[in-house]
Amino acid sequence: MPPHTYKSEYPPDTQIDDGIKTFFENFYQTSDTPTPEAHEKYAAAFTRDAELVMISKVARGYEEILELRKDMWTAVHSRLHTPVKVYPFGSGAGVDEVMLYGSVGYVLKDGRKTDVS
């Protein structure tokens, strides 16, 4: 089995800014890291007035996103995101909207494991 990577596939006929690729690689690596520093880095990845919706929870702005992020780790021992493909809407430097397809595996603190695609 090849080592895990946070690199995604992109459509071959679409030019994607390398900064977008790097953002997603770093974001999901940070997302899988349960340290206080990673919590802050995760929240800082969003704009100051961002709205983050996770199932039924909504967080607005840095402080609420930071608290939501901390709460996301209360029952989770580890998680591993696998971003498989990124589909941009547009091309070149003007791309500011993408759809990402991937999965995440969880190991809960009670020992159960689950995967979500």
pLDDT in tens, 48-92: 999 999 989 999 999 999 999 999 999 999 999 999 999 988 655
Question: Residue 64, class by beta-carbon neighbours within 10 Å (0-12 exposed, 13-18 middle, 19+ buried)?
Answer: middle
Range of the domain at 28: 18-116
Answer whether 0.85 is exceeded by the pTM.
yes
Q: What's the chain's average pLDDT?
A: 93
Of 80, 79, 78, 83, nearest to 6 by C-alpha is: 83
Of residues 97 and 115, more confidently modeled: 115
- The pLDDT score that the predictor gives to residue 81 is 98
Domain count, the chain: 1
- Judge whether 80 lies within some domain: yes
68 in any annotated domain: yes
Please check whether residue 85 lies inside any domain of the structure. Answer: yes
Report if residue 7 sits inside a domain. no
Structure tokens that stand for 110 in this block: 């009670």
Least confident window among 37-46, 59-68, 95-104: 95-104
State the pLDDT at residue 90.
66
Q: Is residue 51 part of a domain?
A: yes
Query: Is the residue at 103 inside a domain?
Result: yes
Residue 4 lies in a domain: no
CATH number assigned to the domain comprising residue 51: 3.10.450.50
